[in-house]
Structure 1
């Protein structure tokens, strides 16, 4: 049985969501730190644009699907768009909205993987 690309993609998105959740948690933890710049991770769509999805030969006469791995880019916004005298760019309300978005994305990712796994198990049984 060949590896299923959907599971690789879901795994990549879960890793990306974990990194994004860590960046958001760091922003919330440093909301009162003078000069702290908001950390933000690049959108998942840009991560996908950098990856090559396709067939690759593992042995002569055999093919398998694969996704090239790349690190996720986290950038800091030091002093950009700061309205506070401390030059802290963290807006707590925005960070809480991002955290909620990450939670919903994790739930959607998990639901899709569960449904696809269930469908595969039914096709193997039948």
Structure 2
């Protein structure tokens, strides 16, 4: 019996979270000159993981059933901005660019890990010639 590999599911969840965060950051930048606009950010990925529970499989009728919890990676909250300008707009372009750089680095790390794991799996199933 083989154990399932959850790395690809985890990487997919993080990629979805990164896409949501990038969309939120883009919205903040697009509204940088909108009076009264409040910058937003998504819940940290660690918080999303903390809410995700592993699903236990009931392989016997005597097992206690546990329902899986669903987690949304799209929970958006008000961002902690560095400052608020006269127009009551809390978007700091510098802060948003720093966040965009973080998203880019995290996405690059995510894809690099998935590529390496994929190569490792292909190497392990390759038959000797």
TM-score, normalised with respect to structure 1? 0.83
1:75 offset after TM fit, Å?
Answer: 1.2
2:32 and 2:93 in contact (8 A); partners too: yes
The counterpart of 2:78, out of the listed 67, 76, 79, is 76
Matching residue of 2:96: 95
**Distance in 2 between the 1:56 and 1:20 partners?**
32
Comparing 45-54 with 90-99, which one deviates more in the overlay?
A: 45-54
Alignment match, 1:64: none
Q: Distance between the aligned counterparts of 2:23 and 2:55, measured in 1?
A: 30
Moved over 3 A (4+): none
Cα drift, residue 4 of structure 1: 1.3
* Cα offset, 1:81, TM superposition: 6.8
Say which one has the larger Rg. Answer: 2
Distance, in Å, in 1 between the alignment partners of 2:5 and 2:95 is 36
After superposition, the Cα gap between the structure-2 partners of 1:76 and 1:32, relative to the gap in structure 1 and judged at 3 Å, is: same
What is the 5 A alignment of 1:1-126? Answer: 3-57=4-58, 68-72=69-73, 73-76=75-78, 82-126=83-127
SS at match of 2:57: strand
Mapped partners of 1:103, 1:125: distance in 2: 33
Looking at secondary structure, tell me which structure has more strand per residue.
1
* Structure 1 residue 54, shift from structure 2 partner: 4.8
TM-score, structure 2 normalization: 0.82
User: Which stretches in structure 2 are left out of the alignment for 5+ residues?
Assistant: 61-67
